Structure 1
Amino acid sequence: MSSSEQPRSAAAERRPEVPFVVIPDTPSVLVSVTDEAMKEVAHGMGTIETTVTPGIYRIEQRFAGAVASQLVEVGTAAFTARLPLPRIPAPAPVERTATTQAAHREATLRWSRESTHRRGRPSLMVLLRNLRRGWRFDPYALQITAGGGAAVDGGEPGWRADPQQGWAAWSGRLAPGGYRLRLREPTGEGLPLAQALWVSEGWTTLVFVGNGPYGPQPQDATVEMAPLGTGWRPADEALNLAREAALSGLRQGIDLTSDRQLFPMLDSGRPDSGRLDSGRLDPFLGIVGAHAMLLDRAPDLRRLDEVVQSLAPHIPGHPDLAALRTLLDGTPPQVTSPPMLAASCQLLIRADGADPGVIKDGSMAESVAEHLVGRGVWTTWLEEERRPASGSRSVLAGGPTGPRPSVADPVGRVQAYVREIAHLADKPVEEVLRDVPREELCRRTGLPHRPVDRAIEGLRGVEEG
């Protein structure tokens, strides 16, 4: 991306200008340059090329949540600076990050090939790692359950841990399908939250969770896939950085991935791409790359179709891949398990509003879509079966239309939304329902078609009564 320049003062215009070039270590770094008066003179993603007058300048880099800055002096000669990569924290123990540790890498290499729970080559591995010494670390804070909520990890005996080195691992052979990752005890806010996992036939899903100052942070996890039996083999440095840039962009809802990083990501799940050996294939990186591409103002749907078609034979039934299919022509999918990425879940909800049945009625995917909680890039929801019986969180402060229903009442949320529109527009509810079709209500409320249909039916019944 080219840099943009700000207007300079008349005094600055009279001073000689010299070439000014800043080259970051990876193309997805956001760079900004400010002068002594703290006015921005250039900004852009990747290399900055401009001209400046002699003086003191501040160069700031932003990448994957990390910020680094430095002051430089520019004289009368051309100035060029090569910037080292900011020290980013990362849940996976990859090189060139602020949180890599040799002991964590060794644990990952071992338990991605060897099961901690029962026998067989693991199809799922979850690694919890302390990102900084001194933080409180509970090695058994996480739990893995089946789609219905029953634990499948064998409890504490199913895990292996080294509290001194700051890691805990679970790995085992699970049947293909949907699972949940959750804290054994609700969060500090008292919310029983769960996060979607998916296991594909012939693959190992690798989940890296960082432990922060207040405990595990599954909402900031990194997910990878590897061919079953090969275990974790860190992707090359460029792909690791591309993954972190893409996940950071998805968290913020902005495009932070350069084409130079994006295209290898899109090819990462294709055995015929010729760019990776079979042990380094990662279909999920291709899915993340596809979502990163969709953040562009004009995404290349033809390229997206190629990615989906190339991944489909290798991970059939993967709900995140099904979500991407909703953007393409052809028979719409019918999804029963929630996808891992929140962006995938939003695609499915939007498609279900336009074509009821994309999310199967009565399925776990529908229940999850009705109780979503915005929390990072991963599909996270409030578990109904673990909600406190007191119902103390069931009602929030409301406006002129009455108390606002909680996330646990999707029908009530839609009805409250419609009534609020009617109140603000001074219209009858029936008129609002005529003006705002079901598909649009699904989009605005972020809910699948069934709770919206029930809400509309209930509102019309009240109006007719």
Structure 2
Amino acid sequence: MPFVVIPDTPSVLITVTDETLHEVAHGMGTIETTVAPGIYRIEQRFAGAVSSRFVEVGEDARTERLALPRIAAPEPVERTVTAQAAHREAALRWSRKSTHRRGEPSLMVLLRTLRRGWRLDPYALEVTAADGGAVDGGEDGWQVDPQQGWAAWSGRVQPGGYRLRRRGPAGDGLPLAQALWVSRGWSTLVFVSSGPHGPQPQHATVEMTPLGTGWSPADETLSLAREAAFSGLRQGLDLTSDQQLFPMLDSERIDPFLGIVGAHAMLLDHRPDLRRVDELVRRLAPHVPGHPDVAALRTLLEGPSAQVASPPMLAASCRLLIRADGTDPGVIKDGSPAEQAAEHLVGRGVWTTWLEEERRPVSADRGGPGTWGAGEHTSGSRPPVADAASRVQAYVREIADLTGKPVDEVLRDVSRDELCRRTGLPHKPVERAIEQLRKAEAEPEPGPGREPREPERAPE
């Protein structure tokens, strides 16, 4: 019998199984197939939510329409369980008007609580330049409505790389920074949810709109597709509909960052269609020249690109750059913020997030407890970030211990490119580690009157 399943939005992954749990249909969006009469299970996966139902197919054709699963979203999208009118109004207003200085905002950050009753820390987030200096004007630069549960920052900034971070340490005490990028002629809109333990930038949603147009909830289907795309990256699944991606890039509704996310989603396939990915990236490139995420995708499709100085927004893009830099040094510019991020990258959601070396807890006489800045390490606080080169050295020494080989022999057997690949680091710290290891191995053995050199310990 003809059997049609129609989801509420195209970016839904549908799976149909029969009563023996055998899969009879699978795909994104509407499913059209034929089945024998019987009981079937329909599962839909969308933006982290999974729902299922059983249906009976008899002697007649059947069409089943599915309601949208109940999902939570950082962006105040209609038909999600976290949609709030006050938050939509804040997004509409502050994506078009600056809270800090004057001019049409090219960057907006909206922090909002997803449940009534959860405490909002309105000044928990900070927007900084690539060098770590704040650009948001401190608390005076933010607009806050504690009753409605939102805090917003928006302003006109120069195109380039920026950071989003907490003003104080996160709950785990780590000085973390998250990459942002602003393109000429575009506004970057960042939606951050505030959970029971404070802001959750690792679960943020990012959107790009033409400068001056601001956020718009009118295209609900596209907003839902965006939520599905980010959820897919978090789960390692391609949940982005090509039916929406490619037409979008040729229309007035273009969102270049959704295209970037879609390209990475297509790469999640076990046998990705690189021709289609290349077509998508080529369509994106003219809209956002210089975007580090596009540069990262190009290293996969076209080989090494020009030096990248700013960290890309997506962790998947950062890993592409690290891989390319390991085989072709210079893809990541030496001494740049991109190199700093690559050396101290941490796994925290889909975003490029790293430990900032320059931010340290300072003593009470330099700002009081809980203040973070460029001070020295203090007693009882977290020690400085482990140097990336020392991590590589520890890795090589561990191989030497396990194989019973001298360190210099391990260095002959394992090339620099291979060490970059295994450690997930760019070429600079790996080369630094190799040089230090060879220098240490060349030191003369302890003789009379010499103290033996204490072996290095691997960082915890």
Q: Same fold (TM over 0.5)?
A: yes
Residues 257, 392 of structure 1: alpha-carbon distance in 2 compared, 3 angstrom cutoff: farther
* 1:442 matched residue in structure 2: 420
The 1-side partners of 2:177 and 2:212 are apart by 28
Are 1:21 and 1:80, in contact at CA under 8 Å, matched by a contact in 2? yes
Matching of residue 245 in structure 1 with residue 225 in structure 2: no
Are 1:207 and 1:222, in contact at CA under 8 Å, matched by a contact in 2? yes
* 1:400 matched residue in structure 2: none
Local SS of the residue matching 1:385: coil
Local SS of the residue matching 1:195: strand
Residues 62, 300 of structure 1: alpha-carbon distance in 2 compared, 3 angstrom cutoff: closer
Question: Which one of 141, 147, 150 corresponds to residue 164 of structure 1?
Answer: 147
* 1:311 matched residue in structure 2: 284
Are 2:304 and 2:328, in contact at CA under 8 Å, matched by a contact in 1? no
Matching of residue 25 in structure 1 with residue 8 in structure 2: yes
Worse overlay, 436-445 or 111-120: 436-445
Matching of residue 412 in structure 1 with residue 385 in structure 2: no
- Give 1:437's aligned amino acid: S
Q: Give how far 1:153 is off.
A: 0.8
* 2:269 matched residue in structure 1: 296
Deviations 1:394-421 (A, max 9, x none): 78xxxxxxxxxx9632111112222223
Are 2:110 and 2:192, in contact at CA under 8 Å, matched by a contact in 1? yes
Q: Give how far 1:207 is off.
A: 0.6
TM-score by length of 1: 0.84
Residues 79, 429 of structure 1: alpha-carbon distance in 2 compared, 3 angstrom cutoff: farther
Deviations 1:421-445 (A, max 9, x none): 3333443333332232211211221
Are 2:16 and 2:23, in contact at CA under 8 Å, matched by a contact in 1? yes
Q: Is there any run of 5+ residues in structure 1 with no aligned partner, and where?
A: 1-17, 268-272, 396-405
Local SS of the residue matching 2:190: strand
- Give 1:192's aligned amino acid: P
Are 1:34 and 1:59, in contact at CA under 8 Å, matched by a contact in 2? yes
Question: Which one of 280, 284, 292 corresponds to residue 257 of structure 2?
Answer: 284
- Identity between Structure 1 and Structure 2 (%): 74
The 2-side partners of 1:243 and 1:222 are apart by 8
Matching of residue 332 in structure 1 with residue 314 in structure 2: no
Are 1:128 and 1:211, in contact at CA under 8 Å, matched by a contact in 2? yes
Residues 34, 387 of structure 1: alpha-carbon distance in 2 compared, 3 angstrom cutoff: farther
Q: Is there any run of 5+ residues in structure 2 with no aligned partner, and where?
A: 362-376, 444-460
* 2:401 matched residue in structure 1: 423
Are 2:245 and 2:259, in contact at CA under 8 Å, matched by a contact in 1? no
- Give 1:323's aligned amino acid: A
* 1:358 matched residue in structure 2: 331
Are 1:30 and 1:43, in contact at CA under 8 Å, matched by a contact in 2? no
* 1:455 matched residue in structure 2: 433
- Give 1:441's aligned amino acid: L
Q: Give how far 1:336 is off.
A: 0.9
Are 1:180 and 1:194, in contact at CA under 8 Å, matched by a contact in 2? yes
Q: Give how far 1:371 is off.
A: 0.6
The 2-side partners of 1:418 and 1:439 are apart by 14
Worse overlay, 183-192 or 381-390: 381-390
Question: Which one of 253, 256, 275 corresponds to residue 239 of structure 2?
Answer: 256
Worse overlay, 331-340 or 424-433: 424-433
Deviations 1:311-333 (A, max 9, x none): 33432222112112212336621
* 1:4 matched residue in structure 2: none
Deviations 1:340-383 (A, max 9, x none): 11111111111111111111111111111111110111110111
Question: Which one of 358, 370, 380 corresponds to residue 353 of structure 2?
Answer: 380
The 2-side partners of 1:311 and 1:35 are apart by 41
Q: Give how far 1:72 is off.
A: 4.0
The 2-side partners of 1:168 and 1:35 are apart by 49
The 2-side partners of 1:201 and 1:459 are apart by 45
Local SS of the residue matching 1:327: helix
Local SS of the residue matching 2:326: helix
Local SS of the residue matching 1:312: helix
The 2-side partners of 1:197 and 1:152 are apart by 13
* 2:90 matched residue in structure 1: 107
Worse overlay, 92-101 or 43-52: 43-52
- Give 2:432's aligned amino acid: R
The 1-side partners of 2:404 and 2:236 are apart by 34
Question: Which one of 39, 44, 63 corresponds to residue 26 of structure 2?
Answer: 44
Are 1:371 and 1:382, in contact at CA under 8 Å, matched by a contact in 2? yes
Question: Which one of 38, 43, 47 corresponds to residue 64 of structure 1?
Answer: 47
The 2-side partners of 1:148 and 1:353 are apart by 24
Local SS of the residue matching 1:222: strand
The 1-side partners of 2:355 and 2:168 are apart by 13
* 1:10 matched residue in structure 2: none
Are 1:142 and 1:182, in contact at CA under 8 Å, matched by a contact in 2? yes
Residues 168, 351 of structure 1: alpha-carbon distance in 2 compared, 3 angstrom cutoff: same
